[in-house]
Amino acid sequence: MTPEQRQEIIRLLEKGEELSPEWARILFPPEKREYELVYHGKEREEDILANTLAVPLQPVRTFGSNGDWSNMLIFGDNLQVMKSLLEMKKAGRLCNADGTPGVRLIYIDPPFATKQEFRGSQDQKAYQDKIAGAQFLEFLRKRLVFLRELLSDDGSIYVHLDCKKIHYVKILLLDELLSEQNFRNEIVIRRTQKNYLEGDSIKSLNVGNDSLLIYAKTYDTQFKPVFRQEKRMEPWHAFDAPNWSGTRPNLIYELFGHMPPPNRCWVWVKEKANKAIKEGKLRPNPNTGKPEYLIPARDKVLCTNLWDDLNAYSFSSGYPTEKNETLLHRVVEMASNKGDIIFDCFAGSGTTLAVAEKLGRGWIGVDCGKLAIYTMQKRLLNISESKDLENPNKKYNKHCKPFTLYNAGLYDFSRLKELSWDSWRFFALQLFQCRDEPHTIGGIKLGGYLKGASVLVFNHMKEKGVRIDEETIESLHEALGTRIGNRLFIIAPALTFDFQQDYITLGNVRYYALRIPYSIINELHQREFTCLKQPSDEMAVNDTVEAVGFDFIRTPELKFECGIRKGKGDTQDTAYIKIKTFKSEAVVREPMRKKGNLETFSMVMLDYDFDDNSQVFDLDAVFYADALEKDGWALNFPIDSTGKKIMAVFIDIYGNEARIVIEPEQFGISSPKKKKGK
């Protein structure tokens, strides 16, 4: 550090100003390594861990009775979620069944950043990866830093990649973060190939595989051998073997009129050979008369790192890049035991979760897409109808164990009002990244600290009807004086505050209003808050923006009409829902976005036969904004698909929902044509 830099730091500290992130490498230079590869935008691991916001996990609904452990399905940005899970691990609330802290196995299938088009079950373009180059590497590296910290000391991580990015990810990321010495295998998996005709011109050979990179957390991490099915004929083998240095005289004797060849001997001693003859396992060769013995056929053989007996992809649910349960079955069996926690932070269609469920493991799945969340919810709730892993010709026939759906970063304020005071206080402190350390200054009970300053969580439940106005701030200032420092943060419901500004300054003290629902105070954060974005077309299913911070649910304004379109000739009648108005906004929003009708619309999902009793949305179809715009914002579907009621979930680009139950009569249908078995 230069003398000028020292003087500048002293000046900033004396003025009470925050140090910018650029000072981190000067104050805390990274550890020198034998080699380290650098690329544009690469952050220090310490900064990634420190600067990522931990967002509270708000329970939305628990499916099944809740016991000591409820599996977790989380909607939110996986980076922020992992910061919260890491705090759970540190607090001893994230443990495997044997008490080991952390998750035992991590499987991730991150976006490959190849801009390759995938095709779903209906041969539709599913998505293109948009994140490329150094941006993609740092996107993934940040998550790998947290994944490493979440692993148990004897855990392992499996990273699923294609040929375009595997070398970058191994050398630039995994070898550095998890150590080259902890690299265990690259597993090669067969994948669906393109079909070419003889005579076609090609620029490269057909890619026939994906890869799994396996890293252990530590040297002591162990794996279980796994086996593959292999039906083989029962072969007969020559009965002689090498007789090293002539030291095996008990294996030299006459058999079927033959002696062993020079420098060789028989495989078994004479007594065992006679027994094998009686059992039909040792015979003279029909052509040569020389002894040969039977090696029994094996149904299973030990797996190598070549897994060409299974396909990486399934597409059974129609979700883009859905992975094969057989693949995850082998991974979970190899790297975990019953009761261990399995984690997938790019959970997608939920294959990892479904396999973990069937094999008696605990699981945590995270995804930032509403389509993924509803796809997984349906898959888990209907898991009894899916195939059994051990016998694919049979159904699984078991209900899933309890799991809880959480929001992380997008919260339902109405549900917060139902919390007890202790739960509200805890959520409020978590929301604003405060340390939970109660203390008292000037007779005022304070709840904790934020950026070194005290925090007051206002008890609006105890002080019902009491408002926080400028007189309230003046009273606090009189009691606290200069003992409070130069800042005090006050957390309370937004409507409790009687002033609009972010803070009030009295003397040298700023009294900040931290409102729930949140109004952004940009100067308190090193990065601007951004929302998760939901896709408006199938090609963008995986093209979501990283979220920073949090927001609160705001139900979009929705107007629609529905009815029946008469078919012409042999064409059957169709039902339609036409969107007339759709307006929404988020507290965290893009300032340049146009403010017009349907600008923020993402997709609509349908449950054709909604069950009033269970109140569970069971996803049947999804329609994206880009396709609907071409059809005049109308979605059409066969009348025969409808049941007693239809549930339509209209979703904006921020993840907010407008849920509508539509009766058949609204379409002009007197009685439902079809009812699904649910």
Around Cβ 219, how many Cβ atoms within 10 Å? 8
Instruction: Determine, yes or no, domain membership for 353.
Output: yes
Same domain for 249 and 153, yes or no, is: no
Q: How far apart are CA 320 and CA 322, in angstroms?
A: 6
Q: How far apart are CA 61 and CA 281, in angstroms?
A: 62
* Residue 613: partners with Cβ closer than 8 Å, 6 or more residues away: none
Q: How far apart are CA 327 and CA 406, in angstroms?
A: 27
pLDDT exceeds 90 at position 286: yes
Instruction: Determine, yes or no, domain membership for 223.
Output: no
Q: How far apart are CA 512 and CA 533, in angstroms?
A: 29
Same domain for 293 and 350, yes or no, is: no
Same domain for 663 and 590, yes or no, is: yes
Contacts 24+ apart (CB under 8 A), 608-611: 608/637, 608/641, 608/642, 608/643, 608/646, 608/674, 608/676, 609/642, 609/643, 609/644, 609/645, 609/646, 609/672, 609/674, 609/675, 609/676, 609/678, 610/643, 610/644, 610/645, 610/646, 610/647, 610/661, 611/678
By residue count, the chain amounts to 678
pLDDT exceeds 80 at position 270: yes
Instruction: Determine, yes or no, domain membership for 491.
Output: yes
Segment (H or E) for 602 = strand 601-607
Chain position carrying tokens 């949090």: 550
pLDDT tens track for 45-97: 998 998 898 899 999 999 987 767 799 999 999 999 999 999 999 999 999 99
Q: Cβ distance 161 to 213 under 8 Å?
A: yes
pLDDT at 30: 60
Residue 606: half-sphere exposure toward Cβ, Cα within 13 Å: 19
Same domain for 339 and 208, yes or no, is: yes
pLDDT tens track for 301-320: 888 999 988 888 876 666 76
pLDDT at 616: 92
| Inter-CA distances, 553 with 17, 55, 408, 411, 536, Å | 34, 15, 11, 6, 19
pLDDT tens track for 405-434: 999 989 998 888 888 999 999 999 998 889
pLDDT at 276: 95
Q: How confident is the model at residue 231 (pLDDT cuts 50, 70, 90)?
A: low
Same domain for 213 and 342, yes or no, is: yes
Q: Which amino acid is at 359?
A: L
What is the pTM assigned to this prediction? 0.81
pLDDT tens track for 490-515: 999 988 999 989 999 999 999 999 99
Instruction: Determine, yes or no, domain membership for 227.
Output: no
pLDDT at 384: 95
pLDDT at 120: 44
Q: How far apart are CA 246 and CA 645, in angstroms?
A: 85
pLDDT at 107: 98
Torsion on CA atoms 579, 660, 602, 432, rounded to nearest 10: 140
Query: Judging by beta carbons within 10 Å of its beta carbon (0-12, 13-18, 19+), is residue 577 exposed, middle or buried?
Result: buried
Same domain for 173 and 125, yes or no, is: yes
User: Domain end: 388, 409, 430, which one?
Assistant: 409
pLDDT at 119: 45
CATH number at residue 647: 2.60.40
Apex 551 CA angle, 550 and 553, nearest 5: 140
Same domain for 514 and 583, yes or no, is: no
pLDDT at 647: 95
pLDDT at 321: 74
pLDDT tens track for 353-377: 999 999 999 999 999 999 999 999 9
CATH number at residue 104: 3.40.50.150
- SS3 label, residue 550: coil
User: Domain end: 389, 409, 429, which one?
Assistant: 409
Around Cβ 677, how many Cβ atoms within 10 Å? 5
Around Cβ 405, how many Cβ atoms within 10 Å? 19
Q: Rounded mean pLDDT of 130-140?
A: 74
Instruction: Determine, yes or no, domain membership for 55.
Output: no
Instruction: Determine, yes or no, domain membership for 36.
Output: no
Same domain for 291 and 394, yes or no, is: no
Q: Rounded mean pLDDT of 401-405?
A: 95
| DSSP state letter for 603 | E
pLDDT at 112: 64
Same domain for 184 and 77, yes or no, is: yes
pLDDT, the chain, mean: 86
Cis status of the peptide bond prior to 517, with omega within 30 of 0: yes
Same domain for 189 and 256, yes or no, is: no
Same domain for 470 and 597, yes or no, is: no
Number of domains in the chain: 5
Higher pLDDT, 421 or 192: 421
Same domain for 213 and 75, yes or no, is: yes
Instruction: Determine, yes or no, domain membership for 35.
Output: no
pLDDT exceeds 90 at position 145: yes
Instruction: Determine, yes or no, domain membership for 18.
Output: yes
pLDDT tens track for 560-587: 999 998 888 778 889 999 999 999 876 6
Q: Cβ distance 411 to 419 under 8 Å?
A: no
DSSP character string of 515-536: EES----GGG-SS--B-----S
Give the structural domain span for 429.
415-524
Q: How far apart are CA 195 and CA 507, in angstroms?
A: 75
- SS3 label, residue 11: helix
pLDDT exceeds 70 at position 122: no
Q: Which amino acid is at 199?
A: G
Query: Judging by beta carbons within 10 Å of its beta carbon (0-12, 13-18, 19+), is residue 64 exposed, middle or buried?
Result: middle
Q: Rounded mean pLDDT of 182-195?
A: 86
Task: Find the range with the poorest average confidence among 88-92, 109-113, 337-341, 481-485.
Answer: 109-113
Q: Cβ distance 675 to 637 under 8 Å?
A: no
Apex 547 CA angle, 36 and 599, nearest 5: 135
Q: How confident is the model at residue 532 (pLDDT cuts 50, 70, 90)?
A: confident
